[in-house]
Amino acid sequence: NPLTQPHISLFGVATVDLAVHPDTAEGRTVMDWLRRAGLSFIAFRGARAGSATGAHIHVGEPSQRLAAP
């Protein structure tokens, strides 16, 4: 099951993290579908301090930590 962490923020914004590497055939297929559907996403290709523990696709708006300048 590639669904790892559904989230609903305090502001009612729903997001989901998909445990699929964006560089795999499956990851590219998911990202193509998300683009065609007009859904926002961020592809993490590895760990990022404070945001991601490993490769995955974050569907939905970015967290405030990523959105901040």
The mean pLDDT value of the chain amounts to 80
The predicted pLDDT at position 55 comes to: 93
What pLDDT shows up at residue 60? 87
Which position has the higher pLDDT, 24 or 68?
A: 24
Per-residue pLDDT tens digits for 13-40: 678 889 999 999 999 999 999 999 999 9
Q: What global pTM score does this model have? A: 0.73
Contact 20, 26 (CB under 8 A): yes
pLDDT at 27: 97
CA 40 from centre of chain: 8
